[in-house]
Every structure is written in structure tokens, then in C-alpha cells.
Amino acid sequence: MTISPRDKNAPRDIDAPAIIAAKPDVTKPNTKKVFIKTYGCQMNVYDSERMADVLAPIGYAPTEEPDHADLVILNTCHIREKAAEKVYSELGRIRQYKEKNKPDMKVAVAGCVAQAEGAEIMSRAPVVDMVLGPQTYHKLPEMIAKVHRGTGDLLETEFDTLEKFDQLPELRQPKGFSSFLTIQEGCDKFCTFCVVPYTRGAEVSRPVAQVVAEARQLAKHGVREITLIGQNVNAYNGVGEDGNQWTLGQLIRHVALIGGIDRIRFTTSHPRDMDDDLIETLGSEPKLMPYLHLPIQAGSNKILSAMNRDHTYDHYKNLIAKIRAARPDIALSGDFIVGFPGETETDFQQTMKCVEEIGYGSSFSFKYSVRPGTPGAGLPRQVPEDIKQDRLVRLQALLYKQQHDFNLSLVGKTLDVLVEGRGRKNGQLFGRSPYLQGTHFDGPESLIGQIVKVKMTDAGRNSLIGDWVE
């Protein structure tokens, strides 16, 4: 791993420089292989890495080849119907392969579908040996032992977020130079369309000391960019080193003191929890990147209220004005749902107006998907599929144009790019700008892992192209 030199005397650093000679080898000789397939959000990406950390000491090495795996874990997402259904089709393929080629392969379903439909998975897909909800990953070794013994409960869906984090092993083997770090998990907001409060449980924040210890560990392994994640990351209220509850702003400023961490991001924020301290931190902390994902979901106050979002469009608009005043170059990102029950064309036009007035650098937009067990599922005036589709097409045309225009506005500018690896073409490198766009440019491989200056020469809707300057 190449780590660029840094100034050891930098006064802001509270740690030793993030340069280590070799990774400590605490794993047993890895005799078995685990293949983990990840669906859904960043938290699942983080959780998959943590499951790999739990499995390493009991002899499982990660593999990218499902065919050779002794253990296959599907880390699933329940957010929309399609996401959940994918799991069952994947399990069908696994069953066929296992029966024909590898009868001793073990299969686990983890993540939010596991939490929501655990017992159903066990009966609907007998190929599955064990089911683990998101708060139980520290129990994986025990579960695997039970599977091999053929006794014991193979369905774990208890909620104990803090116990999980206490018991996960400290060592992390991050893959690259940018890593997720969960600081808060669960959600108390209960938006009427959303399964997350049921699959991840109540909002729980990890203590500051635990977050800092993990961030240092990542830095030691060469990670230079950390994205602090949580379902409602800006509701963070973990216990600080002074015994008080800390805000996200305080935590960010503290993590920024860690030597080796050069970039910090956070996601996902809720408009209700966007406090002044965090907005000021966006304006004043140079390591915090100028990018904010702040979903509004819909522009109509009537729909926002039916969604139980607990904020109006005006509240959101005022927030954005404050944020832009604090950090004028901020790139905004949002989530949108079209076709929530009762959404009329007039309501939808309010979402279009919101997008026009706010202006987004990137976005995620979805057709409302009925989730059994959520209040939205029982609401009258469900919107027909063809109308949802039509609204999504119109909304995405506007959002994608804004995204492309934003990227084009960066052409001619020189931006800092964290080089993550090789690009698609020979001699090309790939990295990320401060605004999170993927950036392609030519340069030597020795730049991988460094933050370099790239002058942007062209822009597509999803990425930037540039020349390496220095």
C-alpha cells in the first residue's frame, strides 16, 4: 500500500502519523472462503466489511468468487419491494448451484430482509442455514458453530446495537483509502413509507471514544477519507470523552484531529436534525467535504405531512439558504419519492418546483413502493403505476440535467482528487472530487492513495475527466 508522506509536526494531529510497516496478522491461517454479496445502502457495505472482520479470526478469508465459497452471505435490503424480491431469486440460483456442485456450502441471509422476514425466509428457502438481523453480526461464529453441530436456534433478530458494537473485533481490514464508519444506527422518525425503523430498530449512537478508536484504526491502515454514516446521522448524540452527549458537529471536529484522516463526509441527514453547530462546522472545518445529502422526499407540504416527515418545504428551503451561506460551494444531494398515496399532479408539481428552486448536484429518486407493515401501505388513494412512472421520468429528466450542468460547471477548475485506484482504460486513474463525482485522468500508479490536483477538462452526467496537474 502506498501512503503519501505527511507533515509529522502538523499541530492539528492528535495521533501518530498513519504509516505502518505491516498489517498485524491476527487471523488464523485462512482455510475457508466466504463470499458476501451486499445489497442496499452504505450501512450494509460497512456491515459486510465488519462481518468479514468477525469471520477472519475463525479462518474465513473473503472471496470474490461465489462458486468456491464455503459460506455465502447475502446482506440484504428491504427498502423497496424489488430489493427484497432479488434475494429470493438469488437464493434460487444458490440452491441449484449448491445441490449440483457444492453440497457442503453454507448459506446465511443477513441485513434488513433477514430482520423483516426471518421466519418466512427459513420456510420459503430451505437452502438457507441461518438468518441474522443487522444487530447480531457479532454472533456469526456462534451461529456457524450451531449450523455445523446441527443444533440450536438459527434465527437471530434481537436488537442490541450497543452490544454488537462492543463485541465486534477492533481490527478492521479496510479495502481502500476511503471507508465508511457507522456512528449511529436505527431510526425513530417513522416516515410512513419506510421500513428502516422496523429493520434497524431505535436510534442508537456509538460513544465518541469508540468512533475515534475505529477512525484511528482505519487511518493506520491507510484510509484517508472517512464517511461517518447513520440512518439519521445528524441526530448523533453519543457520549463524549467529557461524559456529555456530543453533537455530530463536535464529533466531526474531533475526528478531524486524527492524523492521516484528510477528508470527512457524513450521511444521511434529516432536515429536522440539521442544527446550527453542524452548519457552522460545514463552513469552518476544512477536512469536511463540500457535499451534503439532505433528502426532502417531496415538495408538497400535504404530502410531507402524510409522510410524517415533520418538516415543511419552507423549513427545508430556509435550511438550504443557511447552509449555502455557511458553505457557498456546497454540492447538494437529495432523495425523492414520487407517487406517495394521495399525491396529485399539483402535489407533484411542488416537487418539481422544489428541485428547480433548490438545485441539486446529485440525487436519488424512486417510485413509491408499498411496504407491508408501514402506515403508508394502508393509506387510501394509492397512485397507479403508470402515473408513478410518468412522474419519475419527468422528475429524473430535471434532476439529471441539473447534475450534468453542475458537473459541467466544474470544467476548467482544478480540484483535489483522492486517487482510489486504476481507471477503466490503460494508464488511467480513478478518484473522487470533493463533490464526490468519480474522476478519471491519466497518471502513474504511484499516485494511488494520494490526494492530487486535477484540472477538469470534460464532464458527463456521472463523472468528470481531467488532467493531472500536481
**Which amino acids are annotated as binding site, given as ranges?**
41, 77, 112, 187, 191, 194
For the chain, what is the total number of helices (H) and then of strands (E)? Answer: 13, 19
The arrangement of strands across the sheet holding 178-182 comes to 178-182, 225-229, 263-267
Task: From the list ligand F3S, ligand SF4, ligand SAH, none, pick the one residue 78 interacts with, judged by a Cβ distance below 5 to 8 Å according to partner type.
Answer: ligand F3S
Per CB under 6 A, the list member of 18, 33, 35, 44 interacting with ligand F3S is 44
Residue 287: CA atoms inside 13 Å, Cβ hemisphere, count? Answer: 23
Q: Does 270 bind ligand SF4 (CB under 6 A)?
A: yes
Helix 42-55, helix 140-149: angle, nearest 10: 60
3-state secondary structure of 369: coil
Per CB under 6 A, the list member of 105, 108, 194, 419 interacting with ligand SF4 is 194
Per CB under 6 A, the list member of 36, 69, 181, 187 interacting with ligand SF4 is 187
Q: Round to whole Å and give the CA distance between 185 and 458.
A: 38
C-alpha cell at 340: 406517495
Task: From the list ligand SAH, ligand SF4, ligand F3S, none, pick the one residue 271 interacts with, judged by a Cβ distance below 5 to 8 Å according to partner type.
Answer: none
Shortest Å distance, C-beta 195 to ligand SAH: 7
Listed residue (287, 173, 267, 291) closest to 224, CA to CA: 287
C-alpha cell at 388: 408513478
Considering beta carbons, is residue 196 or 319 the nearer one to ligand SF4?
196
What is the footprint of ligand F3S within residues 108-127 (CB under 6 A)? 111-112
Query: In this chain, which stretch among 7-15, 77-85, 160-168, 208-216 interacts with ligand F3S, using CB under 6 A?
Result: 77-85
Query: In this chain, which stretch among 8-16, 44-52, 189-197, 300-308 interacts with ligand SAH, using CB under 6 A?
Result: 189-197
Listed residue (161, 11, 32) closest to 105, CA to CA: 32
- Which positions from 239 to 268 touch ligand SAH by CB under 6 A, shown as an x/- string? -----------------------------x
Rg of the chain (C-alpha set): 23
Please count the other Cβ atoms lying within 10 Å of the Cβ belonging to residue 177: 26
Angle at 219 between CA 213 and CA 222, to 5 degrees: 150
Per CB under 6 A, the list member of 54, 79, 132, 307 interacting with ligand F3S is 79
Q: Does 190 bind ligand SF4 (CB under 6 A)?
A: yes
Considering beta carbons, is residue 48 or 297 the nearer one to ligand SAH?
297
Q: b/e map of 66-85 (b: 16 or more CB within 10 Å)?
A: beebbbbbbbbbbbbeebbe
Q: Does 339 bind ligand F3S (CB under 6 A)?
A: no
The binding site for ligand SAH (CB under 6 A) comprises 41, 79-80, 193-194, 196, 231-232, 268, 295, 297, 335, 337, 366, 368-369, 371
The binding site for ligand F3S (CB under 6 A) comprises 40-41, 43-44, 77-79, 111-112, 195-196, 199-200
The binding site for ligand SF4 (CB under 6 A) comprises 187, 189-191, 194, 196-197, 231-232, 270
